[in-house]
Chains A and B, each alone.
Chain A
Amino acid sequence: MNSKLSEVLAAAKAENRAALIGYLPAGFPSVEGGIRAVRALIEGGCDIVEVGLPHSDPVLDGPTIQTADDIALRGGVRIKDVLRTVQEVAGSAPEAAVLVMTYWNPVDRYGVARFAADLAAAGGAGVILPDLPVEESEEWRKAAGEHGLDTVFVVAPSSKDKRLAEVTSAGSGFVYAAAVMGVTGSRAQVGTMAHDLVDRTRATTDLPVCVGLGVSTAAQATEVAGFADGVIVGSAFVQRILDAGEDEEAALAAVRSLAAELAEGVRRR
């Protein structure tokens, strides 16, 4: 049986294009505003959305997402709000796949089996757990499997070929290839490491390979779509919302507009 995530990626492939994957943290700038913002990602053209679970110690995030997490946490966002965001978005956009991206400790604390059950019940398609390496993931993968959730693992330019095979064989849905060595945030260039990593990853798996970290413009999306199955954009969306300040309508319009530009970008390859 194909998962929701696999179906969405296969549909994009059938259109001979890369998929567009957008990230925003839940609770940013507020729980209700965050739900509208994630919906705006889909309205603008994202095929897949990653709902971030804001964390007190986002060690893999640059200043932009740190700021958003901070705003969300100060606003009192809880795990139940993250799950409700997933539910509201999945309920109103059945064509999209909704993932949760989270550091491991909140899941660990919430309860591994409980989180998998509640995420599946909310209509979530899977998770990305950037600080949970394959070696520590057995308990999670078992729970995820029982609830039909995909587990997307990250590979990095520093991942050696032997390790790539170990990581990709444990994951499902797609493989998240980090374009650069570093934390999240927009960069002027995506770099040549991404193409090489995608090629090395493909040699180990039939899963789609999607590229993230640093991608922020339509031109970069087009470039990445030339060699990857999906393009992942996060900080650029967060920045649009931060730039809009208190004006929520302007923020949502900016998110939709960027998503539309990027959606055009991934079709231009």
Chain B
Amino acid sequence: MSENDYLPGAQVPDARGYFGAYGGRFIPEALIAAVEQVADEYEKAKNDPAFLAELDLLLKDYTGRPSPLTDVDRFSAEAGGARVLLKREDLNHTGSHKINNVLGQALLTRRMGKTRIIAETGAGQHGVATATACALFGFECTIYMGEVDTERQALNVARMRMLGAEVIAVKSGSRTLKDAINEAFRDWVANVDSTHYLFGTVAGPHPFPAMVRDFHRVIGIEARAQVLERTGRLPDAVVACVGGGSNAMGIFHEFIPDAGVRLIGCEAAGEGAETPRHAATLTKGDPGVLHGARTYVLQDEDGQTIESHSISAGLDYPGVGPEHAWLKDTGRAEYRPVTDDDAMQALRLLSRTEGIIPAIESAHALAGALVLGRELGPQATILVSLSGRGDKDMHTAAQYFGLYDSEGK
């Protein structure tokens, strides 16, 4: 599943988990045995027809896959007339793409004989998906979430607790996703015998970047076939938001060998990539090591991580998956910054032209598609990963647009 031969001589990742210069395994000795167990078990599982059949069944009957492909004519009119097609991961059970990876790793957890799952979450999409799978499989569940994020995504905190998970508000550091990951690692080191760390994005130590990507490949596999069937050709571009980068890797991967298809990741530029308040790691960061992998990191000249900022809790992260770092350096993918304001305008536009309220994360991809459509013109077809739904973001959106005021805007 991880074979890639679109670059001569390249197979990514290699046996040590490297995508070119990025990836690897920068973790404490105490976690080596556990991470090797995950890698070994995943190698066995991905070649086990029974495992794959059980996962396929869950994706179909529990998640509701395949997710639809939606033509959005009225939105397209605002995108320079380019034909925009949305891959509707928002319609998955739990409301985002995150469930794809969670179900795969939950099955893996059962195979490893572990009974407790921990996870980090930013916006709560991964936390809700994880809490859901733990309810389904009967695992004990603890979710780490930055205190700032528990406040801006309070609805998802309630959802996780309703599902039986313990939600711990992390008060250290920037009190966002980065610090939730730190705290989850601390828990894992202390409880590794019983506990699997169900990492939620294509970052972290090998094998997580490759494994999480593989569990999300279904997005691109479905979408590529759906676009071909719908339009008779491949899209000109595939656009997805990138925080850690899981939905983007999922939808990009199947298109990587299609040299004519541009792959465009939209990073959170916060108040602007030229200001200090952004989360545009690939645009503004430098290679370094964060959370177990070599990748691009927002860091100062002493290697201290710089706090990121985004209106989207799910993109508010100063690192990024190592495969994205490699795709950037090889030029196979492009990464563009999208500001808070542009994302929020796109969120409202899709809501009002199509009756679809996207997650703020996904709205970054929509904003990118609006710009790209105007660049490419009406002959172009643009596939956008609509990675999640926006219900969780109504509090933020209401504050941003003044929807709680008596008049509204």
Contacts and interface: CB of A to CB of B under 8 A. Distances in A.
A261 B398 CA distance: 60
Interface residues of B, number: 36
**Prevailing SS type, chain B contact patch:** mixed
Nearest to A62: B186
Contacts of B303: 55, 79, 105-110
B112 interface: no
A114 interface: no
B185 A59 contact: yes
A154 B305 contact: no
Interface residues of A, number: 39
Contacts of A159: 29-30, 32-33
B256 interface: no
Interface string B6-37: 00000000001000000011111111111000
A183 B190 contact: yes
A27 to B, nearest CB: 11
Nearest to B288: A105
Which one of A59, A70, A107, A160 has the highest number of Cβ atoms from chain B below 10 Å of its Cβ? Answer: A59
Interface string B29-68: 1111110000000000000000000000000000000000
A135 interface: yes
A226 interface: no
A13 to B, nearest CB: 25
B304 A56 contact: yes
A264 to B, nearest CB: 30
B29 A153 contact: yes
A104 B33 contact: no
Given A59-B182, A105-B297, A108-B289, A158 B33 contact: yes
A66 interface: yes
Nearest to B302: A79
A133 B288 contact: no
Nearest to A109: B303
A59 B25 contact: no
Given A66-B172, A108-B288, A60 B28 contact: yes
B178 interface: yes
A131 B27 CA distance: 5
A54 B289 CA distance: 16
B274 interface: no
Contacts of B27: 131, 133
Interface in A80-126: 104-110
Q: Which of A57, A109, A157, A159 has the most CB of B within 10 A?
A: A57
A153 B33 CA distance: 16
Contacts of B185: 59
B192 interface: yes
Contacts of A104: 26, 289
B290 interface: yes
Nearest to A184: B186
Interface in B288-331: 288-292, 297, 299, 301-305
A57 B182 contact: yes
Contact of A135 (B25, B33, B172, B173): B25
Contacts of B394: none
A167 interface: yes
Contacts of B16: 135
Nearest to B299: A109
Contacts of B288: 105, 108-109
A182 interface: yes
Contacts of B135: none
Contact of A158 (B24, B26, B30, B178): B30
B299 A156 contact: no
Contact of B186 (A73, A110, A158, A183): A183
A133 B30 contact: no
Contact of B304 (A59, A73, A131, A181): A73
Interface string A140-152: 0000000000000
A183 B189 contact: yes
A52 B244 CA distance: 29
B302 A110 contact: yes
B189 A60 contact: yes
A33 interface: no
> Most B CB atoms within 10 A — which of A56, A73, A109?
A56
B264 to A, nearest CB: 29
A157 B185 CA distance: 17
A127 interface: no
A105 B289 contact: yes
Contacts of A163: 32-33
A155 interface: yes
A107 to B, nearest CB: 7
B356 to A, nearest CB: 37
B14 to A, nearest CB: 12
Interface string A42-85: 00000000000001111110100010001001000011000000
15 contacts: A55-B303, A57-B178, A57-B305, A105-B305, A108-B303, A109-B301, A131-B289, A133-B29, A133-B32, A154-B30, A156-B29, A158-B32, A159-B32, A178-B30, A182-B189
Interface of B: 16, 24-34, 172-173, 178, 182, 185-186, 189-193, 286, 288-292, 297, 299, 301-305
User: Would you list the 3 A-B pairs with minimal beta carbon distance, nearest first?
Assistant: A109-B303, A106-B303, A156-B30
Given A79-B303, A160-B33, 11 more contacts: A62-B186, A105-B297, A109-B302, A131-B26, A133-B26, A133-B27, A136-B24, A154-B30, A157-B30, A178-B29, A181-B189
